[in-house]
């Protein structure tokens, strides 16, 4: 086991009608709320109207920023931070999925400073204080609700980068699985894929940690058992709850105890596809992961076989494991080849260039330009 520090101060409120206590929680921080949300689903579902009405009734002073994109961009973060700054907000209320909550984490550290928010990603500005962040999650996928990490794109620089500090944990996250009942089938599937990919990134990281391995297998098994059931019954509360909880556990630190790093090479490669073609994050991962495992099989073959045997509960070779994982992603309706997305034109060159530009690599399996070329061929 590697030495590690476990720290996760998020208060997670999970369950049916759990938003009943949201106002009480916000009140701990003050009266002036910056409400941050996305491109319309919270308005369509009625959640926006209900929340604003409830909070106004409780005397909150609400300013807002809507329109965070599903692959969030730094311009929205800057614009939202400016509104928060002008309104001297006491607390940020992020209502949405990973993109809204990730953006809000950066907004929370950007409000107290005058700098551009991208400076946090480059290290030019250090986060020193943060406006408290309370999150209401509407999509089970990224795990952002219980970790300090944020991934945001900068199209001017053609980069999609991650930032996180002890300041960017949400103070509270509210997870009512009922709020995910309206998520369509494809995005439900991408969320399941995303949580599985998070488990894999931990699994292929550095450091032997047997109990943590068991936790990883547990989370993936839960997703393999209940993911397909949920896709066959999208209105089922229990299945929604199981997947929502699994997504949280997949990236709240539990999969990393006793490891010195996760790998994250696949996420890094997947970000290029999102950046270039707006591929949904989860879909980018189901395209890249089988290819990555095939490419690095020589180095991590025994680990792949151990993973496959664990999650499918039968002895499998590395090749069999990869085939089964790919088949599972397909069964969810996720793409496993870039060609599944029918994007027209020459793709190899821009993807390769983007990988070079963003220096795609993993902490454990380092990647060279030769790897980029081979990886792209394997998922074309």
235 is an interface residue for its own copies by CB under 8 A: no
206 is an interface residue for its own copies by CB under 8 A: no
User: Which single residue is written with the structure tokens 């995005």?
Assistant: 187
Residues with Cβ within 8 Å of 60's Cβ and at least 6 positions away in sequence, in order, are: 23, 26, 31, 32, 33
Nearer to its own copies, 70 or 173 (CB): 173
- Rounded Cα distance between 342 and 276, Å, is 14
- Min CB(218)–its own copies separation in Å: 4
E strands along 281-370, which residues?
A: none
| Subset of residues 146 to 205 that bind its own copies, contact rule: CB under 8 A | 146
267 is an interface residue for its own copies by CB under 8 A: no
Of residues 108, 98, 184, the one with CA closest to residue 141: 98
Among 27, 39, 116, 221, binds its own copies (CB under 8 A): 221
- Rounded Cα distance between 105 and 110, Å, is 9
- Min CB(255)–its own copies separation in Å: 12
254 is an interface residue for its own copies by CB under 8 A: yes
28 is an interface residue for its own copies by CB under 8 A: no
214 is an interface residue for its own copies by CB under 8 A: yes
Q: Which stretch binds its own copies (CB under 8 A): 13-21, 70-78, 117-125, 300-308?
A: 13-21
Beta-bridge partners for 113: none
Beta-bridge partners for 160: 153
- Rounded Cα distance between 380 and 358, Å, is 20
Nearer to its own copies, 252 or 284 (CB): 252
Nearer to its own copies, 163 or 215 (CB): 215
| Subset of residues 276 to 305 that bind its own copies, contact rule: CB under 8 A | none
- Rounded Cα distance between 51 and 206, Å, is 43
Residues with Cβ within 8 Å of 181's Cβ and at least 6 positions away in sequence, in order, are: 234, 235, 237, 240
- Rounded Cα distance between 111 and 132, Å, is 11
Among 241, 275, 304, 351, binds its own copies (CB under 8 A): 241
Is 257 in a helix, a strand, or coil? coil
Among 7, 344, 346, 359, binds its own copies (CB under 8 A): 7
226 is an interface residue for its own copies by CB under 8 A: yes
Nearer to its own copies, 137 or 266 (CB): 137
Among 258, 301, 350, 373, binds its own copies (CB under 8 A): 258
Nearer to its own copies, 68 or 220 (CB): 220
Residues 29, 108 contacting (CB under 8 angstroms):
no
Among 45, 125, 218, 317, binds its own copies (CB under 8 A): 218
Distances (CA, A) of 93 to 4, 107, 258: 31, 11, 33
Among 16, 88, 124, 155, binds its own copies (CB under 8 A): 16
User: Which single residue is written with the structure tokens 């945001």?
Assistant: 152
Nearer to its own copies, 227 or 290 (CB): 227
Nearer to its own copies, 183 or 246 (CB): 246
Q: What are phi and psi of 334, to 5 degrees?
A: -90, 150
Q: Which stretch binds its own copies (CB under 8 A): 80-88, 90-98, 243-251, 266-274?
A: 243-251
Is 73 in a helix, a strand, or coil? strand
Q: Give the DSSP letter of residue 206.
A: B
List residues near its own copies by CB under 8 A. 1-16, 18, 146, 209-211, 214-215, 217-219, 221-222, 225-226, 238, 241-242, 245-246, 249, 254, 257-258
């Amino acid at each position: 086991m590697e030495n590690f520090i476990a720290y996760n101060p998020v208060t997670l409120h999970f369950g049916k009608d759990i938003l009943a206590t949201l106002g009480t929680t916000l009140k701990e921080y003050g009266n002036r709320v910056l409400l941050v949300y996305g491109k319309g689903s919270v308005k369509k579902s009625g959640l926006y109207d209900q929340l604003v009405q409830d909070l106004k009734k409780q005397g909150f002073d609400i300013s807002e920023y809507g329109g965070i994109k599903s692959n969030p961009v730094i311009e929205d973060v800057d614009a939202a931070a400016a509104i928060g700054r002008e309104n001297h907000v006491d607390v940020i209320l992020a209502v949405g999925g990973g993109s809204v909550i990730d953006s809000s984490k950066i907004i929370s550290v950007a409000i107290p400073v005058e700098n551009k928010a991208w400076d946090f990603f480059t290290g030019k500005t250090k986060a020193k204080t943060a406006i408290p962040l309370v999150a209401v999650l509407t999509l089970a996928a990224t795990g952002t609700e219980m970790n300090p990490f944020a991934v945001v794109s900068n199209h001017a620089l053609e980069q999609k980068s991650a930032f996180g500090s002890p300041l960017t944990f949400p103070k509270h996250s509210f997870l009512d699985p009922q709020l995910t009942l309206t998520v369509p089938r494809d995005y439900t599937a991408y969320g399941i894929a995303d949580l599985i990919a998070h488990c894999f990134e931990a699994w292929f990281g550095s450091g032997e940690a047997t109990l943590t391995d068991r936790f990883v297998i547990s989370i993936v098994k839960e997703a393999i058992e209940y993911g397909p059931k949920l896709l066959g019954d999208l209105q089922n509360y229990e299945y929604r709850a199981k997947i929502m909880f699994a997504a949280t556990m997949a990236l709240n630190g539990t999969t990393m105890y006793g490891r010195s790093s996760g790998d994250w090479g696949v996420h890094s490669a997947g970000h290029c596809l999102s950046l270039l073609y707006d591929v949904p994050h989860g879909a980018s991962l189901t395209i890249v992961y089988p290819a990555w495992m095939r490419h690095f099989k020589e180095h991590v073959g025994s680990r792949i076989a151990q993973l496959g045997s664990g999650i499918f509960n039968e002895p499998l070779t590395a090749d069999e494991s990869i085939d089964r994982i790919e088949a599972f992603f397909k069964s969810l309706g996720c793409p496993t080849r870039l060609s599944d997305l029918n994007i027209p034109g020459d793709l190899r060159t821009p993807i390769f260039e983007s990988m070079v530009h963003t220096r795609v690599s993993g902490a454990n399996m380092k990647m060279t330009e030769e790897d980029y070329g081979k990886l792209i061929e394997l998922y074309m």
